[in-house]
Amino acid sequence: MRQIYGIDLSKEKFDVSFIDSQGSSSWKIISNNYKGINKFLMSLPLNSTLVAEHTGVYGDLLVFLANQLNIPISLCSGFNIKHSMGLQKGKTDKVDAARIREYGERFIDKLDLTKYDSEDLTELVELSSLRNQLVKERKMLITHHEKKPQCPYNSVKANSITINIINCFNKEINNIEKEIFSIVNSHSDLKENFELITSIKGMGPITTIELIIKTGNFKKIDTARKASSFAGVCPFPNASGKMMGKPRVSHMSDKRLKTLLYMCARTAIKHNLVIRHYYEKKRQEGKQHFLIMNNISNKLLRTVYAIIESRVEWDPSLVSFDPREKQKNVA
């Protein structure tokens, strides 16, 4: 029988709940650093499984070291843990660790083991995150700067500093993008997937990088169905009893990836004959614009995964005018 260790993570330490050899619930505190984590992992019995709540970077070192020692570890959603316990009152780190352990014991057969990203993927994640932050800051500055001509008075100094900062942002964003593409080109598996995806009319390089990062280079999220659900472009049934509502997409999704896919869908309508035909057909049927765009995002994801699986670049000469017809070649 597997021994489950429930872990409540925090920045400086984490609380561990487990069942001791006498069958009693025990608890201890471990320092969240290399020495403390390594000592804790080395003391675990062979049949141990670690279960922790996903709290961002606080669990990265624990996951990395557990992977190095081949100790199974699963980072679980706090939402799933909370709603599996029913009505609960009170909250402390010790209690949370016990609840996480109970969750792991109840759902041991459904736990997805967590693997730490490779060094190249980790660097891509950090660079992409930094780029996104700089792009947001640049957008705020540009928006503020564009309003200045409407004011009766403007500071020449403030205007000069703003322009310099915007230029600095542009320079650093370009440097980050060059480094991202350099990493992709230096790894054959990343480069091949990148070239396959960008062969699709509508799929741009930034969205492709985001897909590679979020899916773990298509290993963590390995099917189009999972990717559609993760990105929030997959509709789910909405019915109860006699009430039959329209299928809806879940709000629990990756908003950034969904936004990028929407922008790709807009581009695909202009340059991808298959997508353009689909959009025009659905508009003629009276479908709403955003519903069609959501469906196009879904179609793009399914195309991406089909190409990744077949390892063949997208062929723009293949156009299916009706899903019930065979593909037709067009000049």
Q: Is residue 194 part of a domain?
A: no
- Mapped onto helix, strand or coil, the DSSP state of residue 327 is coil
Rounded to whole angstroms, the Cα distance separating 126 from 117 reads 12
CATH of the domain at 105: 3.30.420.10
Q: Is residue 195 part of a domain?
A: no
Residue 247 φ/ψ, nearest 5 degrees: -55, 140
Those residues whose C-beta lies under 8 Å from the C-beta of residue 208, and which sit 6 or more positions away, are 194, 197, 198
Per residue in 123-181, pLDDT (tens digit) is: 999 999 999 999 999 999 999 888 877 778 778 888 899 999 999 999 999 999 999 99
- Kindly indicate the confidence band of residue 319, based on its pLDDT and cuts at 50, 70 and 90: low
Instruction: Read off the DSSP letter of residue 321.
Output: S
pTM of the model: 0.82
- Mapped onto helix, strand or coil, the DSSP state of residue 291 is helix
Q: Is residue 199 part of a domain?
A: no
- Write out the E strands in 57-145: 73-76
Q: What is the pLDDT of residue 330?
A: 41
- Mapped onto helix, strand or coil, the DSSP state of residue 119 is helix
How would DSSP label each residue in 188-233? HHHHHHHHHHHTSTT--HHHHHHHHHHTTTTTSS-SHHHHHHHHT-
Rounded to whole angstroms, the Cα distance separating 34 from 39 reads 8
Tokens matching residue 166: 């915007």
Tell whether 140 and 173 lie within a shared domain: yes
Q: What is the mean pLDDT of residues 102-125?
A: 89
Tell whether 265 and 314 lie within a shared domain: yes
Assess whether pLDDT exceeds 80 at residue 328.
Answer: no
The domain of 223 spans 210-239+252-329
Domains: count for the chain: 3
Q: 3's torsion region: left (phi>0), alpha (psi -120 to 50) or beta? A: beta
